Chains A and B, each alone.
Chain A
Amino acid sequence: MPEKHLLLRHRDIPDIHELEVYRKHGGFEAFRKAVTQMTPDEVTEEVKKSGLRGRGGAGFPTGLKWSFMDKKNWPHYVVANADESEPGTFKDREIMERNPFQFLEGVAIAAYAVQANRAYIYLRGEFWQVAAWLDRKIAEMEAAGLLGDNLFGTDYSLRIYTHLGAGAYICGEETALLESLEGKRGMPRLRPPFPPSYGLYGKPTVVNNVETLTNVPLIIERGADWYRTIGTEKSTGPKVFSLSGHVNRPGNYELPLGTTFRELIFEHGGGIPGGKAIKAILPAGASSAILPATDEVLDTPMDYESVPKVGSFLGSASVIVVDESVDIAWLVRKTIHFFKHESCGKCTPCREGTYWMDKLMEKVMAGQATPEDLEILYDVAKQIQGKTLCALGDFATMAVVSGIERFKQDFERAVKALVEVGV
């Protein structure tokens, strides 16, 4: 049977969440190979060569990040980012629920590569059941001698722990996540220093997304050259696209990076319900610059280089589809509302800016905005950009700026209604 999935392997192999089944399909051989036949640096080098880039949103090269770990400062930690809170993203949850061992093996290999003896999985608080489930899977690994002391007869030892957050989008940002894991409020740290030099408890730490880590066993097992045959030259490998909104078949789709929006939405997602026309696409969840669904955009390959060329980002590849019935001003208001709620309040441009953008959008939606209000809104958004401590501030402006620039008619309608009644 041809292999259809490399990450969502549970869709081809029933019961892969059972340890024997996972092992029967080669599970934990990559971890064994790494620990018994490769030096930590060789593992990092292989991941570097594979071209794997972070699937949590920023697309940073994974092997390069591992190579930044400060080798003069010990102990080292690995932290898996299982906070998955970007509106429209639901891929990490499926991986952890259905193919948990491949993810856990990735955590283990990453830990070996940076010589960490402890790894934490930070899950958003809503993933209560997923955490309990992973605890069971971790216990099964311990019982089978795949975690603990002297692994595979070497002197390498590793333990993996889960840790639940408690409801805060900002804890997905890696330094806020570390603060939260230390038992504090989840507020981002000033950077630099970055986690590979100053991370958990001030020690060198690798933070990687769940999906990123789930790629790692494949790379070690089959090699970087094989991995590079999937995807595009600069965006290698498979990617899980979370497809939501106005599509007939929403869900996760594992496809090579570089697949077009059109293929995802129309072939896999079954197109737009009710025969309506597609109006817009948010490629990276609520943090996206909104793309009008033109032919050019629909034929754009979804990879880290191509999406910016048409004016947005791939991010975590949470593709939200919007049909012609939707008022983009309404949509923008939804995103602002989200970011205002989730701003941690640590820096002024983000805290105050999201508050004002929310107020102004409220006016727009109530049909009470003047053309000047719209200008102020646009200016406030522009002024936030590049002036905040973490990327949330920028995220909050994406829909506003792109909405006003690219869907002017939807905003003008709100403003005009008011001019027409003579206010």
Chain B
Amino acid sequence: MNAFYERHKEEIERILAKYPPEHKRSAMLPLLYLAQRDRGYITREDMAQIAEILGVSVTEVDGVVGFYTLLHDKPGGKYRIQVCTDLPCALRGAEQFLHQLEEALGIKAGETTPDGLITLEEVMCIAACDKAPVFQVQTGEGLTYYENMDLEKTLALIEQWRRAEDAPSQNGGRPTGSESTTINQQSSTNNP
């Protein structure tokens, strides 16, 4: 078919099997996530090859990428820290938290650190309003929630990433899909 297909053949077939064969376009978002996993963002070439696999035009794929905030067509930091500053979180100090983080990192929301490690972003409610300040960290591999955070804990986390960069054989603190296995330990409740 094409290079993208060859590269991810098994996974693509597994994804396509979830939808009726005549509606394989439904695999659009899953395939775009797959492309994003390779580089952290989606290239024009990926879009063309995904379009070919799904039998739609590149323009349509491009339109989809542009519509959704978790899909990126430009490179950003390896870790995208996405802080929620929506109303319920803002009532509990999320905006101050974001400002502290901006100062500590020396970048504004929307910017990337010069070493390319971190992009700081402001996002709308992520369904964790009782645990503010909260952020999610998006990498090509997936997305992890960090709840009840403060500046100190956040900087410690970033320090872990930096160390992992220096020792590339180790995974230290990097969110991966496999963390989902611990979902029940990261309880979403703090009341009876």
A residues with a Cβ closer than 8 A to B are 8, 11, 17, 84-90, 92-94, 97-98, 118, 124-130, 132-133, 136, 161, 163-169, 180-186, 201, 242-246, 249-253, 282, 286, 320, 322, 326, 331, 334-335, 338, 341-342
In the bound complex, what is the Cα–Cα distance between A322 and B91 (angstroms)?
8
A88 touches B71 (CB 8 A): no
Could you list some 9 contacts between A and B, CB below 8 A?
Answer: A97-B184, A126-B126, A126-B145, A163-B30, A166-B68, A166-B71, A184-B64, A334-B86, A338-B125
A161 touches B18 (CB 8 A): yes
In the bound complex, what is the Cα–Cα distance between A163 and B127 (angstroms)?
18
In the bound complex, what is the Cα–Cα distance between A88 and B25 (angstroms)?
33
Contacting B67 at CB < 8 Å: which of A8, A88, A168?
Answer: A168
Contacting A183 at CB < 8 Å: which of B29, B130, B136, B183?
Answer: B29
Enumerate B123-149 residues with CB–CB distance to A below 8 Å: 124-130, 136, 142-145
In the bound complex, what is the Cα–Cα distance between A399 and B142 (angstroms)?
34
In the bound complex, what is the Cα–Cα distance between A334 and B136 (angstroms)?
20
Whether, in the assembled complex, B4 has its beta carbon less than 8 Å from a beta carbon of chain A, the answer is no
In the bound complex, what is the Cα–Cα distance between A138 and B17 (angstroms)?
15
A245 touches B91 (CB 8 A): yes
B91 to chain A, nearest CB (A): 4
New A-B contacts (16) at CB < 8 Å, excluding given A90-B129, A132-B180, A286-B87: A92-B127, A93-B128, A94-B188, A126-B70, A126-B126, A128-B142, A129-B183, A166-B29, A167-B71, A168-B68, A183-B26, A184-B28, A242-B130, A246-B92, A251-B190, A341-B124
A183 touches B142 (CB 8 A): no
Contacting B143 at CB < 8 Å: which of A126, A163, A322?
Answer: A126
A318 to chain B, nearest CB (A): 8
A164 touches B29 (CB 8 A): yes
Interface centre among A97, A161, A245, A282 (most CB of B within 10 A): A245
Contacting A164 at CB < 8 Å: which of B20, B33, B90, B191?
Answer: B33
Closest to A8 in B: B189
Contacts of B60 in A (CB 8 A): 184
A88 touches B145 (CB 8 A): no
A135 to chain B, nearest CB (A): 9
Contacts of A244 in B (CB 8 A): 88, 91-92, 129-130
Contacting A126 at CB < 8 Å: which of B19, B88, B136?
Answer: B136
A88 touches B88 (CB 8 A): yes
Q: How large is the interface on B (under 10, 10 to 19, 20 to 34, 35 or more residues)?
A: 35 or more
A180 touches B29 (CB 8 A): yes
- Label chain A's interface by main secondary structure: mixed
Whether, in the assembled complex, B114 has its beta carbon less than 8 Å from a beta carbon of chain A, the answer is no
B67 touches A186 (CB 8 A): yes
A242 touches B129 (CB 8 A): yes
Interface string of B68-108 (1 = CB under 8 A from A): 11110000000000000011101110000000000000000
B64 touches A183 (CB 8 A): yes
In the bound complex, what is the Cα–Cα distance between A341 and B142 (angstroms)?
23
Interface string of B1-45 (1 = CB under 8 A from A): 000000000000000001110010111111011000000000000
In the bound complex, what is the Cα–Cα distance between A89 and B188 (angstroms)?
13
A317 to chain B, nearest CB (A): 13
Contacting B64 at CB < 8 Å: which of A98, A185, A335, A341?
Answer: A185
Contacting B189 at CB < 8 Å: which of A11, A125, A184, A246?
Answer: A11
B69 touches A129 (CB 8 A): no
Whether, in the assembled complex, B179 has its beta carbon less than 8 Å from a beta carbon of chain A, the answer is yes
B69 touches A182 (CB 8 A): no
B189 touches A252 (CB 8 A): yes
In the bound complex, what is the Cα–Cα distance between A64 and B91 (angstroms)?
39
A176 to chain B, nearest CB (A): 10
A354 to chain B, nearest CB (A): 14
Interface string of B155-192 (1 = CB under 8 A from A): 00000000000000000000001011101100111111
In the bound complex, what is the Cα–Cα distance between A309 and B143 (angstroms)?
42
Contacts of A183 in B (CB 8 A): 25-29, 54, 56, 64
Contacting B18 at CB < 8 Å: which of A163, A245, A334, A341?
Answer: A163
B27 touches A126 (CB 8 A): no
Contacting A165 at CB < 8 Å: which of B20, B68, B87, B184?
Answer: B68
Closest to A399 in B: B87
Interface centre among B54, B71, B130 (most CB of A within 10 A): B130
Closest to A135 in B: B180
A98 touches B189 (CB 8 A): yes
A87 touches B67 (CB 8 A): no
Contacts of A252 in B (CB 8 A): 130, 189, 191
Contacts of B19 in A (CB 8 A): 161
B144 touches A129 (CB 8 A): yes
Contacting A86 at CB < 8 Å: which of B63, B71, B125, B179?
Answer: B125
In the bound complex, what is the Cα–Cα distance between A253 and B192 (angstroms)?
9
B124 touches A169 (CB 8 A): yes
A210 to chain B, nearest CB (A): 11
Beyond A164-B29, A245-B91, A250-B129, whether A129 also contacts B145 by CB under 8 A is yes
Beyond A163-B18, A245-B91, A326-B91, whether A98 also contacts B127 by CB under 8 A is no
B130 touches A17 (CB 8 A): no
In the bound complex, what is the Cα–Cα distance between A251 and B86 (angstroms)?
17
In the bound complex, what is the Cα–Cα distance between A194 and B33 (angstroms)?
30
B177 touches A94 (CB 8 A): no
In the bound complex, what is the Cα–Cα distance between A201 and B32 (angstroms)?
21
In the bound complex, what is the Cα–Cα distance between A84 and B136 (angstroms)?
16
